[in-house]
Structure formats: structure tokens, C-alpha cells
Chain A
């Protein structure tokens, strides 16, 4: 092992039996993690990140190769390794029926922290995580972001020399995400801790001292994010066209020869070109303004995964994605007035009003626990409103005949599918449930298998699929009946950037055909795709406007060009201050 490495893997291999197939999670991985810094383990879904973490923690036995942590063999000295490192799994096992303090006590006992040392350590951890005011609250009552912070605190009760974090920020709102990163940075600076962090958020990768790019169980690249971004110099551009919506422009440009990637970003479309030259063939287009942009890590990542080539991709075919909805585009198809919902004596939604027009992409943003999901469930007719009026496609879904429900599609946070049915059986079932029969059903299933690239997986159990496939299948199921309105609840949570791009391509195509889309998300960059956004906190809507307007409102002397994330955080913080006052 080279001097100083806190973690070293040599020829590490691991495969699993999934159904009748053998899936190789890791195929010969060699890497070192340096001490006293944050190392990012980056890769698309199913790349083998979690398997690597578990091997390092001695929870799995490798098929080939070896892995050493802090000089100990993780396979043979598992107990010693586990005593030495801190590991926070993707879903950290907090005992939800214990309080914050009791969870801390449990892990302090398990880690053997001397009682005399606990008071100071607890105080420090609670201060760091901002949980000091909540020590007597049950962990189950914390918001998603607070849970993750408590999980981190539990992992840190005895300061480990190496900290493994497996996607600690999935499903966490931007405010909590910033706080989590602040904690990690402090640990590295003040306590000299070494951190290995797996993530699918590429903006987070940029905060790492070094990143390891994992793809299909192999290492694609390793180095500092800055060095990786630097390789992209001269290949990144911003394009804008007056009078054209960004997402329409993006749809036009994506897949053109010479363009590796096109992405809506703020007021322009971000392009990656195959060569260090401005994108070809845009000169003929009227009013397109192209300027160079400094490269960032995500560009390098996408470029690497796509092999630096343009895709000659198939155009997304959402034709027949919807019926001809008809009607005036200005008509509101969703109308919410004074909607409230109470659980016990807690108002999850304390009165919201908005209208969504036909063909609009409407985003619902908010911190964890702001009431987004409750609002969503009320709109889909899954939860009755305690007060107020909700109107979808002209009817109240809760009371509506099943006919009205045939006009909406719904995709839930968990990509709920029948795990023990195959892909084709799931499609067939939902097609029938929506009343499609005979040739119509066959045709839609064929369309779904082709359009969502599920054909090869048709016979697999949907429960065994990687997350990205599940997401595509869930979307296909929600679209079988060509709905006029599509409800998407955190549709990209935990999904890698490549899959997220494809997803938004499809949403754009649907919106162009007049499908109304309502979506919740934690990814601020995705919010840019929306026509309008509602930002929620504590069961109320703080702001409702177009992304550009929201950003404009957040403009200040310190932040002349705020991102949507800045705008969001500003709004949330202002609301918190107002409430405290």
C-alpha cells in the first residue's frame, strides 16, 4: 500500500446471483483513498458504489482481490475494521421509535465511548448538526434532512479515522444538503478525518479533493475534479435563442452531430461538443447566441460516460404519448383553492391555492416535510382534503367516477411496481387496468418496450431491476393510457445524471404535445425545466412564479447572479426568520 492510503483495494471483484443471472457488481477494482481529505465515489446507478462500501466495511466477502482499511484486512478482520471506521449506509438504520438522544446513547454504548467523554462529544455533535433543540424528539418525527444529520451524528459519536458515507444526500432538500456538507468539511479540517463519499450529485463531486469514477463495476478515471474538468476546456458552451423556451431549444440541439450533451441551465442551454470548437451548424439558425463556458465536473462525467461522442441518439418518440387533449391552452386544468390537510393536530398543508394551465410543466419544491407529498396525494385523490377545493380536469378526483381517473397518470416516489411480476407483466397489467384491450394494448406495450428501452429486460422480474430501469418502467406504466395530466412525485430521486437527462427529454416531449405535468423534486437544476414553480414551506406556498422571476427576486448585492438553489434557500431562510419572530 502506498504511504498514507487509508483504504486500498487490489483487484477487487464481487458478483451476485439475481434471479437466474449472475450480475458482476465489481470487476477488478484497484484504488487508494488518501488520508485527511474527502474522496468522492461517483458513478451512475448500479455502478457498484454500495457494493464497494459494504466490502470496505467487511459486510460482504469479495470473490476476488482484497481490500484493506487502515491497514486491516476487511475480509478477515471484519470486527476490527468495523471498530475502527465509521460507516453510514444509504438508509441509515435509525431507530425511529427512539428519541434523538436515545439513538445517540445506543451508538455511544455500541462504540464504547467512555461516559465521561460523552457530554462534550454530544454537545459538539448536536451543535454541528443543529439538532440540539430536538434531542427529546423521536427520530421518526424528524424530517428527512434531520434524519440524515442524526445518522451522521450517530456514526460520529466516536470519531472514526475513516468515514464511509453512502449517498448521504439522496432525498434531502438543498438546505439540509448544504448543512451536511458543512459538517463533513469541518470533520476533515478540524479532526483530520478521511472521508469516502458515494454520491450521484455531480455538484457534490466538485467539493471532493479527489474523485473515483465508477462505471459498470470498473474504474473509469481517478483524480481531482478540477483536473478532470480541465480536460474539457474549450468544449463547453452556452446557447440561447431569443423567443424560444430553453427546453425547446435543448430538445432541438440534443443529439445533433458534434454535440455530446445539451442541458437546460438557467437562462441558456449548456452544450458539450465533441471537439474543442464551437458547435457546428448553429450559424444558420436565427438568433442563436453561443458563448464559451468554463467547464465543470459534470461535463467531464457525461463526456466520459458517453465516450466523448455525439450520440446520434434516437429522437424521443412520445407521439401517442397523449390523446389530443383539445381545449384552449389557457384553460386551467388543475385548480386548487384553500386546500388544507390535517394529521392529528398537525397541519401538513395549511391552505394552498394555485392553478395549472394545460400543457404546463409545474414544479412543486420545498424542504422535506413542507407538505409537497401531501398536496400531491390530495390532488391524485389518494387523500381527502380537510378543507378547501381541489379540481383536476374539471372534476374532484376523490369523488370522480373512474372515468376521470382514466385521464391522469401517476408515478410515485418509490416507483411502485409489482416486484414479483416481470416487466412485460407489469406493463400488461397497467394497460388492462386502464381499460386498454386487444390490439390497442399490444401496440402500447410494444411502444413502451421500445421507447423506454425495456425490450431486453421484458422477462425480468421488475423487483430485480436497477433503479434506473425501475424508474423508466414506472413512467411507462403511468403513460400506457395516454393521460392528459401526469403527476410525478420525486421522479428522479436516487437516479444518476444520465438517466435524469433522458427522463427530462421525455417530459419535454410530452409537454410539447399538451400534456400537463406536475412534478416535485429536490434537484434545483431540474426545477429549471419547469414553466412555473411553487416553493412550499410548513404547509404553505412561499412563492409561485417562473424560475427566472424567482431568481430575479433573490438578486442582491452579494449575489448578483443567484442560482435557483440560492433563491430557494433565501426564501426558506426568510420564512424561518419570519416564523421565529
Chain B
């Protein structure tokens, strides 16, 4: 029996890797995509383009503007002289932020009156707008603090002391790169599994397998192992790029990571094989792969937190294996988590994996066409 399974596994690997083209498809795109996506996926803004509309001649306004000019996250692209010039700039997305200093800004400040500072932000992308506003806010509040200090004024009766755990500089890349590791692993798993059974069915070799003494369970193992091995190799390569190239800290336990990875791969392979054994043709397999993959990514909490979703949608995410794996990745990478904390993520994936794999192997013999 062991002999037979070994032969099956060898055959699957040969079928997968013999052709240089499909070898390339499995190895190159995920690594290239990690590099490109790793740089692309961040909510941190760089060089926010802004315009200045300064009606004030005073020193204070010049000081404030100098702080904007000096901040690395801002880049001044225009200086305007009239209100009407502003709209075209923002409309055309030439600037994201406009800072408008009124004519009595310095005078108000000197007199101890609150000096209004108008900031106009393009809200088309509300998240970018929010982040930009935060940047503006921090420049202004530092200006305020300094002003209060220099003048010896009374500060506010309470101040905020903010600290961020696990990611002190709040680099969103640290958040997204582990997510990309999970996403790419899912895509590779789908590539390996979603079309295999359907292709064998179309070519008639699946019948040939079914008339041999091989049991469905053995065929299942033969089809699962390659996905598992390719996934582990792939994820390890991606992990190395993430830590060595992007310098994302890896604080947690490596064994815990691999246990999570194997469980995730089992559930992904299970889903892929289930899709594949349900489909009579490769076209159906492809459609099924998309219908699983796209929601699995979007609802995993990769870019938008699950907590923000309506309750009904949150319930749906419980059957998404990527949801659990992302939590594991982030906790292992950034929070240094070990087994104890991750148990709650392990068992749902094990459950999904077991259910899909069993169903797939049952379908090997019972899905007729």
C-alpha cells in the first residue's frame, strides 16, 4: 500500500513539475508578486502632495509652513493666490491636501486668540484622506505644543500619551506582508489543486485510476502531498523574502508557524480538490477556483478588518481558512505568539481541512458525469 501511494505521489510531482512552463508558473510569479505587492500594499502615505494658500504675512504662518515643508511625508506641489485656483488642483488629483491660512492668522495667534487653520482634503479615497488628516494633525499639534512652551502658556489639563504595541512606528507594511504570505500561499495551492482532478477527468486518466486497486483515500493522499510540499517550499521562500528583504520582524515560534501552515495548506488543498472533483471540466474548475479564492481573500481580513463587517458577513468568514491563517501569521510574526495562543486558530482549519478532504475523496467515486 505504501508502495502504491509513493508511486501516486511521484506521478503527481512529475505531472506538476516535468514541464518547464508549469514549473515556472509555480515558482516565479509568487516571488515576483511578493516583491511587487510588498511594496504596493501599505496605507502609509509618502510625499503627500499639498498646496499652500497663505493670505497671512506673519512669522507664525511661515513657521507653520516650514514645518510642513520639512516633514518627510509632505511634498508641496503648488502655491496658490486665490480660492478659485484650488478646486481644479484637487479635482485633477494634483494635490491631496490644501492648507489655507487666513489673513489674520499670525495676528490672532499673537493676541492669544485661537487661530483657525483650514485644511481641505480630497475625500475620494476616505482612508487616504483619514491618514493624511492624521499627518496634518500631528504637524499642527507639535506646532501647538511648541507655541505653548515658548510662550509659557497654560497647556490643556490633560494630554494623551500614546504607545503602539508590536509595531511602534505603526508601519502598515508589517501588517500587510504577512497577509500577502497567506494570500500567495492560497493562490499557489489553488493553482496546484483546482484543476488536477478535472483535467484527469477530461483526459480519461481518472477512470484509469479508479479501475486500479487504489482506494479513494490513497488517491487523495497522492493528490494532497504535492500541494502540501509545493505550498511549504513556496511559503518558506516567501517567508525568507519577507524577513530578510522587507525586514519584517519574526518574533514567534517557528514550529507554531509551520503547524499553522500545514493545517492551512490542508484546508486549502481540501477546498481545491473539492472544487476540482465537483467539476466535470477544467472551465468549471477555474470558475470554482475564482469563486472560492476571491471571497476568501476579501473576507479574510487582509485589507479590511473583519470586525468592521456586518454580523452576517462575519459569520461567513468562519468558513474561510485564510481568516485563521492570517491571524496566525500576524501573531507569529509581530506578537511573538506560540502554540498556546494559537490553538483557537488551529482547530477550525483542521476541521475545514478534514471536512473538505473527506468530501473530495468521497466524490472521487460518486461524482458521475
Report A's interface with B, CB cutoff 8 A: 377, 380-384, 402-403, 405-406, 408, 410, 412-414, 416-421, 425, 428-430, 432-435, 437, 477, 487
Chain A residues near B10 (CB-CB < 8 A): 429
Contact A432 B3 (CB under 8 A): yes
Contact B213 A403 (CB under 8 A): yes
Q: List 28 A-B contacts (CB under 8 A).
A: A380-B207, A380-B211, A381-B210, A381-B211, A382-B207, A402-B212, A406-B213, A412-B207, A413-B204, A416-B207, A416-B208, A417-B205, A418-B14, A418-B15, A419-B203, A420-B14, A420-B15, A421-B14, A425-B14, A429-B7, A432-B4, A432-B7, A433-B7, A433-B213, A433-B214, A434-B212, A434-B213, A435-B213
Most buried by A among B8, B19, B203: B203
* Nearest A-chain residue to B219, judged by Cβ: A433
Chain A residues near B203 (CB-CB < 8 A): 414, 416, 419
A380–B209 Cα distance when bound, in Å, is 12
Chain B 1-39 per-residue mask, 1 if CB under 8 angstroms from chain A, else 0: 101101110110011001100000000000000000000
- In the complex, which of the residues A384, A406, A487 contacts B368, with contact meaning CB atoms closer than 8 Å? A384
Contact A420 B18 (CB under 8 A): yes
Contact A432 B204 (CB under 8 A): no
**Shortest Cβ gap from A418 to chain B (Å):** 6
A382–B10 Cα distance when bound, in Å, is 24
- In the complex, which of the residues B18, B211, B214 contacts A382, with contact meaning CB atoms closer than 8 Å? B211
Is B75 located at the chain interface by the 8 A CB criterion?
Answer: no
* Nearest A-chain residue to B10, judged by Cβ: A429
Is B104 located at the chain interface by the 8 A CB criterion?
Answer: no
SS class of chain A's interface: helix, strand, loop or mixed? loop
**Shortest Cβ gap from B11 to chain A (Å):** 5
The verdict on A433 contacting B212 (CB below 8 Å), with A414-B203, A416-B204, A416-B205 known, is: yes
Is B67 located at the chain interface by the 8 A CB criterion?
Answer: no
A143–B14 Cα distance when bound, in Å, is 37
Chain B residues near A412 (CB-CB < 8 A): 204, 207-208
Chain A residues near B3 (CB-CB < 8 A): 432, 435, 437
* Nearest B-chain residue to A413, judged by Cβ: B204
Chain A residues near B18 (CB-CB < 8 A): 420-421
Contact B15 A405 (CB under 8 A): no
Contact B8 A433 (CB under 8 A): yes
**Shortest Cβ gap from B124 to chain A (Å):** 44
- In the complex, which of the residues B6, B8, B14, B211 contacts A405, with contact meaning CB atoms closer than 8 Å? B211
A403–B8 Cα distance when bound, in Å, is 18
Is B215 located at the chain interface by the 8 A CB criterion?
Answer: yes
**Shortest Cβ gap from A171 to chain B (Å):** 15
**Shortest Cβ gap from A79 to chain B (Å):** 31
Contact B210 A402 (CB under 8 A): no
A380–B210 Cα distance when bound, in Å, is 9
Chain B residues near A429 (CB-CB < 8 A): 7-8, 10-11
Contact B368 A405 (CB under 8 A): no
Chain A residues near B207 (CB-CB < 8 A): 377, 380, 382, 410, 412, 416
**Interface residues contributed by chain B, number (CB under 8 Å):** 25
Chain B residues near A382 (CB-CB < 8 A): 207, 210-211
Tally inter-chain residue pairs, CB-CB below 8 A: 80
A383–B11 Cα distance when bound, in Å, is 25
Contact A418 B205 (CB under 8 A): yes
* Nearest A-chain residue to B16, judged by Cβ: A420
Chain B residues near A413 (CB-CB < 8 A): 204
Ranked 6 nearest A-B pairs via Cβ: A432-B7, A416-B204, A402-B213, A410-B211, A406-B213, A433-B212
**Shortest Cβ gap from A215 to chain B (Å):** 30
- In the complex, which of the residues A381, A414, A433 contacts B4, with contact meaning CB atoms closer than 8 Å? A433
**Shortest Cβ gap from B246 to chain A (Å):** 36
**Shortest Cβ gap from A560 to chain B (Å):** 44
Chain B residues near A380 (CB-CB < 8 A): 207, 211
Most buried by A among B6, B11, B203: B11
Contact B7 A428 (CB under 8 A): yes
Chain A residues near B204 (CB-CB < 8 A): 412-414, 416
Chain B residues near A437 (CB-CB < 8 A): 3
* Nearest B-chain residue to A380, judged by Cβ: B211
* Nearest B-chain residue to A432, judged by Cβ: B7
**Shortest Cβ gap from A29 to chain B (Å):** 33
The verdict on A408 contacting B211 (CB below 8 Å), with A384-B368, A417-B205, A428-B7 known, is: yes
Given A382-B211, A383-B368, A405-B211, 13 further pairs, Cβ under 8 A: A380-B211, A384-B368, A402-B213, A405-B212, A417-B205, A418-B205, A420-B14, A421-B15, A425-B14, A429-B7, A429-B8, A432-B3, A433-B7
Chain A residues near B213 (CB-CB < 8 A): 402-403, 405-406, 433-435
Chain B 164-187 per-residue mask, 1 if CB under 8 angstroms from chain A, else 0: 000000000000000000000000
Q: List residues of B (96-132) whose CB comes within 8 Å of A's CBs.
A: none
Chain B residues near A377 (CB-CB < 8 A): 207
* Nearest A-chain residue to B19, judged by Cβ: A420
Most buried by A among B6, B10, B212: B212
A419–B15 Cα distance when bound, in Å, is 9
- In the complex, which of the residues A420, A421, A432, A477 contacts B6, with contact meaning CB atoms closer than 8 Å? A432
* Nearest B-chain residue to A409, judged by Cβ: B211
A384–B210 Cα distance when bound, in Å, is 13
A421–B208 Cα distance when bound, in Å, is 15
A428–B3 Cα distance when bound, in Å, is 12
Most buried by A among B7, B15, B214: B7
A453–B213 Cα distance when bound, in Å, is 27
Chain B residues near A425 (CB-CB < 8 A): 11, 14
Chain B residues near A408 (CB-CB < 8 A): 211
Chain A residues near B215 (CB-CB < 8 A): 402
Chain A residues near B19 (CB-CB < 8 A): 420
**Shortest Cβ gap from A472 to chain B (Å):** 16
Chain B residues near A421 (CB-CB < 8 A): 11, 14-15, 18
* Nearest A-chain residue to B209, judged by Cβ: A433
**Shortest Cβ gap from B365 to chain A (Å):** 8
A310–B304 Cα distance when bound, in Å, is 79
A420–B19 Cα distance when bound, in Å, is 8
**Shortest Cβ gap from B123 to chain A (Å):** 48
Contact A435 B211 (CB under 8 A): no
A435–B4 Cα distance when bound, in Å, is 6
* Nearest B-chain residue to A343, judged by Cβ: B368
Q: List residues of B (187-246) whose CB comes within 8 Å of A's CBs.
A: 203-205, 207-215
Most buried by B among A406, A413, A420, A432: A432
Q: List residues of B (119-160) whose CB comes within 8 Å of A's CBs.
A: none
Chain B residues near A434 (CB-CB < 8 A): 212-213
A280–B10 Cα distance when bound, in Å, is 54
A487–B11 Cα distance when bound, in Å, is 24
Most buried by B among A383, A418, A434: A418
* Nearest A-chain residue to B17, judged by Cβ: A420
* Nearest B-chain residue to A403, judged by Cβ: B213
**Shortest Cβ gap from B300 to chain A (Å):** 34
**Shortest Cβ gap from A85 to chain B (Å):** 32
A383–B210 Cα distance when bound, in Å, is 11
Contact A430 B212 (CB under 8 A): yes
**Shortest Cβ gap from A91 to chain B (Å):** 15
A470–B18 Cα distance when bound, in Å, is 20
A419–B18 Cα distance when bound, in Å, is 11
Chain B residues near A384 (CB-CB < 8 A): 368
* Nearest B-chain residue to A419, judged by Cβ: B203
A419–B202 Cα distance when bound, in Å, is 12
**Shortest Cβ gap from A491 to chain B (Å):** 14
A437–B2 Cα distance when bound, in Å, is 11
A418–B11 Cα distance when bound, in Å, is 9
Chain A residues near B6 (CB-CB < 8 A): 432
Chain A residues near B210 (CB-CB < 8 A): 381-382
Chain B residues near A410 (CB-CB < 8 A): 207-208, 211
* Nearest B-chain residue to A425, judged by Cβ: B14
* Nearest B-chain residue to A431, judged by Cβ: B7
**Shortest Cβ gap from B148 to chain A (Å):** 74
